[in-house]
Structure 1
């Protein structure tokens, strides 16, 4: 009798095992933040064919599924793969091959980095990025005099951290045929006593003839940027401003599985690109989505290029400048509105935000679910917030904590109340897309999370947070880094949360950013990054 019972039990166990569905991956014993509609947590999920097919408790997943690849999370936190809602992925990659002067505390330190770089690389044209005079003891734009003495025969062009100003030497001016009589609309050649200082603002930078990268440099740059992003748990990036050849290179690398990161591409809104892509239509693969244009409304607040309704508080009779005349923005908007593409406009100053928001309102009459975006929305006049009711605010929390030391000097006590107003923008539209704007800021998304919630720098300043009425909750911030970013990209049905049917993009962290002390969030490390259920970090 015992033998019969044993046989029946064995058959039952075999039948039970054989009835389980075979999947490619199971994750168990985790604290999974699904970021679904109810913001539920789970313990386990199963992945098949690159997508989540079931999410639930350990028992529920174990009962129904089996896999050769089982990841025991050991009670660690698991999140949907992070999405950077506004960055410059391609530019970050190229920057790895140039001189990096980010974080320098003086102009002399910048110069020393240039000297050290040239000793090592010995290039024909020195390029780089990252200086910020607001971080120096003397908070004024540098001049080219010292550059000319150190590099009399080698052209130098180094871009300010925000990408809206450039310092060049005389050799770079000469080979670019720029004289002291040069003028430009939508920018400025800064001069002193009628002579060029070497600092160029916005459109003036386009006159500098910087050598184009080779194809091998482009590919290496993209791969370098991908590794950096995977190390930080970023599985989708929104690259704000790409041209057709780079988009096609990215597509080819993704199709060959050389480049695995997902990308939402904002096409640079040159007339050539507008004509080509509005005629071609949306381009969509599992890894690439080309359906938006990046338009520049104005410059940056730090270089006083942002267009303001009233003069800058710290520069008499200076208003900043639009990149194009107002009528040009309407022309661009009308061309995009006649297509299926999205218009995403860089707007920093309150004047630019108002102009672009009104342009959107006029052009999009009777058009629904277009999800046009304002990128940065940095300084908004109080009456103009209501204009965001049908416009997605795409903001970068670390801009607030980087700029808070000097932003009020630029715009004064009253206007700064409408600055970096993430909570007010969220309450108006119902969602916010969160990004970094890297390499203007650090790639690290945990700094984004920290800046949004704590509104402090890494030295715990200010002690009670910066304009805390506009801080976001942890849940709002996580949504802004995942599902709301997916929504802003028209991709909320395929990514941004851990739910059946969506791409299996997820990350495993060494600590739970939803529970730990907020000051510990910047120390968080990514233990593993997965795309399509494949471990890429």
Structure 2
């Protein structure tokens, strides 16, 4: 009997030794793999930063062993979330400036500026986040009160969308401009023959805001990473960054101080930069992918800078404007089309979308799988939807629930039919990439999920949802935040789903976003974020 026990013990030891040693095993989970079948599994194994097996508890534990075992206790797990359009670096820098998000009046903006200056004693005050549409008086502010509070210190604060800038006289004097300065692709707002202090789009370029130091830039990137990991983001598409920032990101990746995966959209507003990267070619590591250019087509709807085919409904004979002359977009597109790079163009107004779609079609012609993107695709004329058959829509659902209170006043009922039309765009292309555009909107991806599926604000308004005919299903939305976003970055074979061979990027959630009651979605929290199999939050 003793000999038999020894034999059995030896057999168990022998079988255990046959199991493959891995770095991490997760069991008892409710894991949405987001594979082609949208399978839900209980367990998976990770080795060398990649998924090596996905299946049932029995399958995984029978074949693999690890010193690091997570019993998920039926918690929901999804692939690492991807924000397909944001401003990661800018949001990080914003942590070093005055934050004006959520202000409910111009007076509150001024109070925050005074408090900031008292603490920081800055030589040039900068910040971002004001939105006159959230104020009781929904008009652009003027600089009069700024001049009184800060007569000698330059102040330049951006509107939430980044397409309008409020400056004081000290900043104007430093720039050497006045109400007669000519602007192409923007506007200097003048009232009663005097500058109000509000500059739109290209006019903002006259204001020379001091560049951040290298230490400030590094701290900004690290701050942005910390915030994003806390929301389950493991890849961000940084829309419009320059060569110096890209090289700083790469250096921080190499030292492993920065771990966030970044899809870099090179700012295409600089010809020398376009020439440099096209000559250099695509640059790709596990954490950094430099293969696209971000170009601005027009301004934003909130500041009436979006280029419209007909006059704004609430401002007669005002149409917004393209940032560049129409032919310039052809020049840029032709140059990029002759390379392997992707072109991603900001287009909000129906006129901007019409022109960019036409330009894309002309230069791409017989090129397949270019995956060129229209960023925002916010207001589309009925006849233009069909042109998204090979142009990828990249949208930000929370723009719809932020703009819904006033958008119809801007553009009228008829044009609203083609606005924030996510489902219509998905039906044409077959995929849609979802992001937030943070810091224009909140970083929180669960607000993206909520706005795309339920189409309400956090106060559960409107009762029946906003233009629900264009709501996405929960499955479509999760795909848009994972595998379709990865596809838009040419990265669907390495991330975006929990499948063998892909990076082990995944997120453990506080609740099941695929089944919880709609109004509960914004309450979702991230329990843990894993990148490359490593717990980063």
How is 1:369-388 mapped onto 2 (pairs within 5 angstroms)? 369-388=369-388
Q: Alignment length, in residue pairs? A: 536
**CA deviation vs aligned residue, 1:143-179 (integer Å, no higher than 9, x gap):** 0000000000110000000000000000000111112
Q: What CA distance in whole angstroms lies between the structure 1 residues aligned with 2:467 and 2:495?
A: 32
The residue aligned with 2:39 is: 40
The residue aligned with 1:117 is: 116
1:272 deviation in Å?
1.1
The residue aligned with 1:160 is: 159
Pairing 1:459–2:459 present: yes
The residue aligned with 1:431 is: 431
The residue aligned with 1:197 is: 196
Q: What CA distance in whole angstroms lies between the structure 1 residues aligned with 2:68 and 2:176?
A: 61
1:512 partner SS:
coil
The residue aligned with 1:274 is: 274
Superposed structure 1 runs of 4+ greater than 6 Å apart: none
How is 1:94-105 mapped onto 2 (pairs within 5 angstroms)? 94-105=93-104
1:338 deviation in Å?
0.5
The residue aligned with 1:352 is: 352
1:116 deviation in Å?
0.6
Pairing 1:180–2:176 present: no
Q: What CA distance in whole angstroms lies between the structure 1 residues aligned with 2:182 and 2:253?
A: 42
1:4 deviation in Å?
2.6
2:417 partner SS:
helix
1:8 deviation in Å?
1.7
Pairing 1:52–2:35 present: no
How is 1:294-309 mapped onto 2 (pairs within 5 angstroms)? 294-309=294-309
The residue aligned with 1:22 is: 21
Q: What CA distance in whole angstroms lies between the structure 1 residues aligned with 2:125 and 2:465?
A: 39
**CA deviation vs aligned residue, 1:215-274 (integer Å, no higher than 9, x gap):** 000000000000000000000000000000000000000011000000000000010111
Pairing 1:415–2:415 present: yes
1:7 deviation in Å?
1.8
The residue aligned with 1:134 is: 133
The residue aligned with 1:364 is: 364
1:418 partner SS:
coil
The residue aligned with 1:231 is: 230
1:140 partner SS:
coil
**CA deviation vs aligned residue, 1:349-378 (integer Å, no higher than 9, x gap):** 000001000100000011000000000000
Pairwise CA RMSD of aligned residues?
0.5
Q: What CA distance in whole angstroms lies between the structure 2 residues aligned with 1:340 and 1:73?
A: 42
Moved more, 391-400 or 2-11: 2-11
Q: What CA distance in whole angstroms lies between the structure 1 residues aligned with 2:371 and 2:96?
A: 36
Q: What CA distance in whole angstroms lies between the structure 2 residues aligned with 1:196 and 1:183?
A: 13
Gaps of 5+ in 2: none
The residue aligned with 1:74 is: 73
Pairing 1:320–2:348 present: no
1:379 deviation in Å?
0.3
1:114 deviation in Å?
0.4
Q: What CA distance in whole angstroms lies between the structure 1 residues aligned with 2:460 and 2:76?
A: 25
1:406 deviation in Å?
0.3
